[in-house]
Amino acid sequence: MSAMSDSRITSVSTEARVFPPPAAFAASARIGSREAYDAVYARSIQEPEAFWAEQAQSFHWFTPHERVLEWQAPHAKWFVGGTTNLAYNCLDRHLAGPRADATAIVFEGEPGDVVRYTYRELHAEVCRLANALTQLGVVAGDRVGIYMGMVPEAAMAMLACARLGAVHTVIFGGFAAEAIRDRLNDAGAKVVLTQDAAWRRGGQVPLKAQVDRALADVPSVEHVVVLQRMAEAPALGERDYDWRTLVAAQSAEHEAPALDAEHPLFILYTSGTTGKPKGVLHSTGGYMVGTALTTRHVFELRDDDVYWCTADVGWITGHSYVVYGPLCNGATVMMYEGAPNHPAPDRFWELIAKHKISILYTAPTAIRAFIKWGDEHPQRHDLSSLRLLGTVGEPINPEAWMWYREVIGGERCPIVDTWWQTETGGIMMTPLPGSIPAKPGSCCLPFFGVSPKILRDNGEEAEPNEGGLLVIDKPWPSMLRTIWGDDERFRATYFSRFEGKYFTGDGARRDADGYFWVMGRVDDVVNVAGHRLGTAEVESVLVAHEAVAEAAVVGRPDELKGQALVGFVTLKGGVTATEELRAALIDKVSADIGKFARPDAVIWADALPKTRSGKIMRRLLARLAAGETELGDVTTLEDAAVLASLRDREGEDE
C-alpha cells in the first residue's frame, strides 16, 4: 500500500459541520431556501404525476403523453403515449432561441488543441453523422457500439444514435478487447464507431487495434467508422470507413423522427455480482426529463456558465452529465481529452483559468490525488471563475471535502456531493446548492420525486443513525427499464430483495436531521478510483489462466483509490508460485478487461477459506486483505488451517 501520510486524506472527522448555502448563491437560485425545497419535494412525492407532468412541459414533444406513469413493479413506463426525440431536445430546440450561436462544446485535447462547436454547428455535425449511419443501414432499434476517447465526436456519436432511435452502447476506452467483444456480442451491435487512438499522458492509447481484436469474434458487426485523431491516417480494412470522409459527403439536414417516450435510448454495461456485466437499459422520455431537471437544479446552471464534468463518456456520469443533461439545458460544456497530470499536475487548474470554468464536477479519487500532488499547483492559477463544485462516484471523506472547499472553491463555492448509479440514470441524492445546508461526507437529501429508505434485513425501516440497506421505494422517470436481454436478472437483482422496491446494493444510514450517509457497496462490487468493478469479473479472468485452480478477488481500503483489488489465488497441483506467474496473472487482467481492473496484489493461497456449504468467505478475505487481525466469526470456516496459511503468506506482498 502507498505510504501516504497526509492526514487530510486519511483521518476521519467526527465533527459534524454544516455549511449553509452561500448567501449570494441562495439569492439568485431557482430554489432559494430550505422551505422552498421542502415544499417542492413534498409535492413531488405526494402528487408525483402532476409534478412530473409539469416538468415534462419544458421539453419538446411531438405528441404529448396520455398518462404520466404506468407502474407494474418492476416495470415502469413514463410519459406513456408521448413521442419525443432526445437529440432534438439537445440541439434543434436551441436553434430558434438565444443559445443557437452559443458554444455547446469546448474541447481541449491533451496536446493543447482547442476546438469549439456552437449549438448550430453541433446540430449540423450530428445531422451529418445521422445521415451517414442511415447510409450504413442503421435504423431505429439497431444497436451501435461506441469505443472512443474524450473527443467531441464521441458526444456526436451518441447524439446521432439518439436522433435515429439507434440504441448506443458506449464502451469505456479503458476496456480491452475481450471486454469489448463481450459487450458488443451481448448488445448485438451492427456498427461500431471508434477512433485510431487517444492521447493519454503524452502517449497514444490505441483504440482501433482493440476493436479489431474484439471483432474477430463479433459476427453481428457489419461496419466500423474510424475517426482519425493522430497525424498519420489509420489503415482501414474492408468493413472500415474513414469518419471524416463519410460524414463530409452527407447533408447537414436531418429531420428528427418522433420516438416513443419508452423507446430504448442506450445500453450501458455495469458490473454486478456475477462475472457477466449487466446491460443497463435506459429509455428516452423519462431519462431526458430526469437528467435535464437534475442538471438544472443541482448545478444551478446559468447561460453564462462554463460547465465541466470530468467524467469519461464511457461511464454513466459522462452520459448524463457531460452529454444529455447539460446539452438539453443549452449549457456550454467543457470536454478534456487527457490525464489530469499531463504535462504537469496543474493541468486541471490551468484549464479552469484558461476556459473560465465556473462549474467543476469530479470524483473524490481525483480530489485525493490533487491533495497528494500539493496545494501549490492549484494555488498557481486563477480559479476565481469557479462558482460551484460537485463530486460523484464514491463516498467523499470529510477531509477531502474540506480541501476541495478551501483550496479549489476559495470557501465561496457550494459543494454538491451527488449520490446515484448507472441504474438510476440521474442524480438521486444531493444538496441543492441554493437551499440545502451541506454536511461534508453526506449526500444530504433526496432530489425531487426520489423516495429513499434505509431498511433492516427484515424490511423494517431503520432508526435514525442505524446502518441498513438503501432502497428506493417509488419509481422515478430516469430509472433503468430492464437488463438488456435478461429481464429475469433485472427483477432478481433489483426488485427481489425487498419485493417491489428498488435495492441499490449500497449500505447507508440517515441521521437525525434526515441526511443520508452512503457507506458503500454491500455486494461483491468494488469501487476502484470511482470505477465500478465486479470482483467476479476479475475472478473469471484469473481462473481462466492455465495455472490457476481457484481465485477470489476482494477490495481493500486504499487511501487514493478508495478501494484496491486484491486477488487470492490457489494454483493447480505441481505449479510453482513465482514472481513471473504473479506478473502474468496481473497482465492477463489488463489484457482481458483493462488496466484499471488490475489487482494491486496477488496473494498465493494453499486453499481458499470456505463455509461448510462450499461458499468462499469473501468477507473474511476482505478483512484479511485490509490487514485486520480481528477476523470476526469464523466458526463456519471449513478448515481453520487455511486461514493460518493465508495470514503467513500475506506479508509477501507488502
Footprint of ligand WTA (CB under 6 A): 270, 315-317, 392-395, 417-422, 443, 504-506, 518, 520-521, 527, 532
Q: Please give the residue whose beta carbon sits closest to ligand WTA in the complex.
A: 422
CB of 41 to ligand WTA, least distance (A): 19
Write out 30-83 in H/E/C secondary structure.
CCCCHHHHHHHHHHHHHCHHHHHHHHHCCCCEEECCCEEEEEECCEEEEEECCE
CB closer to ligand WTA out of 133 and 529:
529
CB closer to ligand WTA out of 243 and 315:
315
CB of 437 to ligand WTA, least distance (A): 17
Which residues have a Cβ under 8 Å from the Cβ of 515 and sit 6 or more positions away?
439, 442, 444, 445
CB closer to ligand WTA out of 89 and 422:
422
Cell representation of residue 235: 489503415
- Cβ density class 259-295: b for 16+ within 10 Å, e for less: bbbbbbbbbbbbbbeebbbbbbbbbbbbbbbbbbbbb
Q: Looking up cell 478477488, which residue turns up?
A: 553
CB closer to ligand WTA out of 160 and 322:
322
Which residues have a Cβ under 8 Å from the Cβ of 641 and sit 6 or more positions away?
none
**How remote is the C-alpha of 200 from its chain's centroid?**
20
CB of 329 to ligand WTA, least distance (A): 19
CB closer to ligand WTA out of 120 and 595:
595
CB of 297 to ligand WTA, least distance (A): 16
CB of 172 to ligand WTA, least distance (A): 10
CB of 258 to ligand WTA, least distance (A): 30
CB of 302 to ligand WTA, least distance (A): 24
CB closer to ligand WTA out of 4 and 522:
522
CB closer to ligand WTA out of 51 and 403:
403
Q: Looking up cell 439568485, which residue turns up?
A: 28
Q: What is the DSSP string of 471-497?
A: EE-S--TTS--EETT-HHHHHHHHSTT
Q: Are 38 and 437 in contact, with CB atoms under 8 Å apart?
A: no
CB closer to ligand WTA out of 269 and 336:
269
User: Exposed, middle or buried by CB within 10 Å (0-12, 13-18, 19+), for 307?
Assistant: buried
CA–CA dist 415, 428 (Å, integer): 16
Q: Are 53 and 462 in contact, with CB atoms under 8 Å apart?
A: no
C-alpha distance from residue 74 to each of 224, 431, 487, 495, 573 (Å): 36, 28, 10, 6, 47
CB closer to ligand WTA out of 106 and 593:
593
CB of 332 to ligand WTA, least distance (A): 23
Q: Are 552 and 621 in contact, with CB atoms under 8 Å apart?
A: yes
C-alpha distance from residue 408 to each of 6, 334, 415 (Å): 17, 18, 11
- Cβ density class 323-344: b for 16+ within 10 Å, e for less: bbbbbbbbbbbbbbbbbbebee
- The sign of the torsion formed by the CA atoms of 10, 11, 13, 14 equals positive
Strand partners, 307: 333, 359
Nearest in space to 416 (alpha carbons), one of 393, 443, 453, 445 = 443
CB of 354 to ligand WTA, least distance (A): 28
CB closer to ligand WTA out of 68 and 622:
622
CB closer to ligand WTA out of 69 and 518:
518
CB of 494 to ligand WTA, least distance (A): 12
CB of 444 to ligand WTA, least distance (A): 10
